Amino acid sequence: MSAILHVDMDAFFASVALRHRPELWDAPVIVGGAHRSVVLAANYPARSLGISSGMSATAARRMVPGLVTVPPDYDSFSTVSAGVFAIFDSVTDRVERGSIEEAFLDVTGSTRRMGTPREIGEYIRATVADEQQITCSVGIGPTRFVAKVASRQAKPDGLVEVTPAGVADFLHPLRVEELWGIGRSTAEALHSLGVFTVADLARMPRGVLQHTFGPRSGAQLADLAWGRDSRRVTLGAREHSTGASETFGVDTWDPVIIGRELLRMSDRVARRLRASGNLARTVSISIRYSDFSTINRSAVLPTPSDVAGELHEVAVRLFAPLAKRRRKIRRVGVRGEQMVLSDSTYRQPRLTDPEQGWRELEFAIDAASEKFGRASVQRLALLRRPLGTAAGIDPPGTDRAATRVRAPRHG
């Protein structure tokens, strides 16, 4: 019988943002939410007051006066996530990444080396807390579905194990809304049939469910009521893209401001690519206008890259035709897509490239930033005032050479 773990970080973005700020652990806190943007994440005290991710930051602050806002640190999110997945990889080679903060682990083959599934789950929880200073919840079950539901029940900072013999006893008392994959509309349709608990669902004739929800979905609901799930942990599941976006405090059509923000986002994406050991084959930009209409443009890079200047050069070229429209823009984003492993890809050098180029420099900047903090090395172009008045787009490649180095205060 398989032993599947579902490991989910607790309020991941908020936990990472607050891990070195213990004075805020009991306060209601949101991550993001600057100006007119949305709430990226909320810690548990904020959630208990009705705050949820995706809601308007203005509405959140109106709902909870005194709500604390902290800025997102995307580099820390990526670094902590990489550390967590390194822990998973030390346990088993059968890891399926669900997102930056969760994964399924098939530990069936690891029990002889590391003990029972519960002991492995407790090891993961303790190691994540010790190495990354955040907590996670672990669900253990004979199937992916049961493990996922169990991890939800374990939150926050807990572990729930469901044995094969105990699946029905675990699932049947739950409300149908607590099952993985059942959203609001499906729950409401089930309620109209008199189905409110998983036990009710288990007693419902399969034919009635198939008539109401269709042959495939109805059969799946009938199986899930008993924890039956034939899906296996998928090996080698990888992210295919990574991106960054920013909402302006004030809508603008100024190409200099927008070009500078494209540089900031390109730099952020490049750092994430290098941290994950990937290169992007394609660069795409996303432009959201003040009327909330959105335009996306993409182009294939000559050679897969994780260099900010190369990503920015393409992003600026993609934006240039849009700049002529002089429409006010609310948000810009840059994304690296069609990612490939950097150690499996040959990068074609340019004839004008020096022996040690921009990629080596940016790796050196990463190392300095890791040791002395992100503020120790910054691009001069990104230290300018956020709202400029000059016209025209900065020439491609101009800003990537402008880097300001601050001497660290200690050592």
List strands edge to edge, sheet with 136-141: 95-99, 102-106, 4-9, 136-141, 159-161
- Select which of 101, 102, 313, 362 is catalytic: 102
Calpha distance 140→134 (Å, rounded): 20
Max avg pLDDT among 28-42, 237-251, 269-283, 365-379:
269-283
Q: Is residue 123 pLDDT above 70, yes or no?
A: yes
Calpha distance 103→177 (Å, rounded): 22
- What value does the mean pLDDT take over residues 108-131? 95
Q: Is residue 395 pLDDT above 90, yes or no?
A: no
What confidence category does residue 378 fall into, taking pLDDT thresholds of 50, 70 and 90?
low
Give the tens place of pLDDT for each residue, 176-220. 999 988 888 899 999 999 999 999 999 999 999 999 999 989 999
- The token pair that represents 2 in the structure block: 């398989």
Q: How far is CA 400 from CA 263, 272, 334, 394, in A?
A: 8, 17, 16, 11
Among candidate residues 1, 402, 338, 404, the one with its CA nearest the CA of residue 163:
1
Calpha distance 33→59 (Å, rounded): 10
DSSP state letter for 143:
S
What confidence category does residue 75 fall into, taking pLDDT thresholds of 50, 70 and 90?
confident
pLDDT value, residue 53: 86
Among candidate residues 306, 239, 217, 301, the one with its CA nearest the CA of residue 267:
306
Mean pLDDT check: name the lowest of 169-178, 303-312, 344-353, 375-384: 344-353
Calpha distance 17→156 (Å, rounded): 17
Q: What domains are defined for the chain?
A: 1-164 (3.30.70.270), 172-224 (1.10.150.20), 241-405 (3.30.1490.100)
How high is the mean pLDDT of the chain? Answer: 83
pLDDT value, residue 149: 96
The sign of the CA dihedral 140, 142, 144, 148 is negative
Q: Is residue 346 pLDDT above 60, yes or no?
A: no
Max avg pLDDT among 21-30, 363-372, 389-398:
21-30
List strands edge to edge, sheet with 294-305: 241-252, 329-341, 278-289, 294-305
Tell me: cis bond preceding 156? Omega within 30 of 0 counts.
yes
Is residue 102 flagged as an active site residue?
yes
- What value does the mean pLDDT take over residues 149-169? 96
What confidence category does residue 355 fall into, taking pLDDT thresholds of 50, 70 and 90?
very low
Q: Is residue 373 pLDDT above 50, yes or no?
A: yes
Residue 299 makes CB contacts below 8 A (sequence gap 6+) with 282, 283, 284, 314, 317, 318
Mean pLDDT check: name the lowest of 74-78, 144-148, 178-182, 227-231: 74-78
What confidence category does residue 17 fall into, taking pLDDT thresholds of 50, 70 and 90?
very high
Backbone φ, ψ for residue 35 (5° rounding): 55, -120
- Percent of the residues in the chain that have a pLDDT greater than 70, as a whole number: 81
Calpha distance 81→231 (Å, rounded): 25
pLDDT value, residue 313: 93
Determine if residue 8 is labeled as part of a ligand binding site: yes
**Which residues sit opposite 180 in a β-bridge?**
none
What confidence category does residue 329 fall into, taking pLDDT thresholds of 50, 70 and 90?
very high
Calpha distance 31→17 (Å, rounded): 7
Task: With H, G, I as helix, E, B as strand and everything else as coil, classify residue 46.
Answer: helix
Q: How far is CA 129 from CA 132, 137, 208, 220, in A?
A: 6, 11, 46, 36
